[in-house]
Amino acid sequence: MTDFSKTEINIDKKDYSNYRILIVSTSWNREIIDVMQQDAISELKGFNVNHIDSVEVPGAFELSQAAEKFISSYDAILALGTIIKGETYHFEVLAHETARSLSQVSISNKKPVIFGVLTTDNELQAKQRAEVKGSEYAKSLLMMIDLFSKDAAG
């Protein structure tokens, strides 16, 4: 059995040119999402990812539905959205369910699905975090592609 605790993931040495990536993003808070999406696309292209598609859904709850619909055609999915806290319990329910359902899509399909959903107290926090998160999410996606492609048989 392979000991993956000592597995190094070095995305700089891998050829990602043949991987198919889908970015699923929300239409809510589009100006915030656009910043993250463009940053993620730029980062992915910097690693020679040549096939990047995107699809837009209304809100965070619909991210997992689109991910499940399209995952068989892609090697990995990056789900981008924002959930900004309001005055009701809706924020907690939506954030939890979005994370859980995206994780389930990944687990059931054995492919990486990255949770690129900002959960913030206000719009200013979301705008500030969006400036750096797109590239971070893209690197996470590449790291998970690398991890998923490792031979578990040892």
Span 77-114, pLDDT tens digits? 999 999 999 888 899 999 999 999 999 999 999 999 99
**Number of folded domains in the chain?**
1
3-class SS at 105? helix
Report the catalytic residues. Answer: 90
Measured between alpha carbons, how far is residue 33 from residues 24, 61, 93, 149 in Å? 10, 15, 21, 29
Inside any domain, residue 97: yes
Tell me which DSSP letter residue 5 carries. Answer: G
Inside any domain, residue 120: no
Domain that holds residue 140: 26-50+62-70+82-115+125-148
What's this model's pTM, rounded to 2 decimal places? Answer: 0.92
- Tell me the average pLDDT of the chain: 93
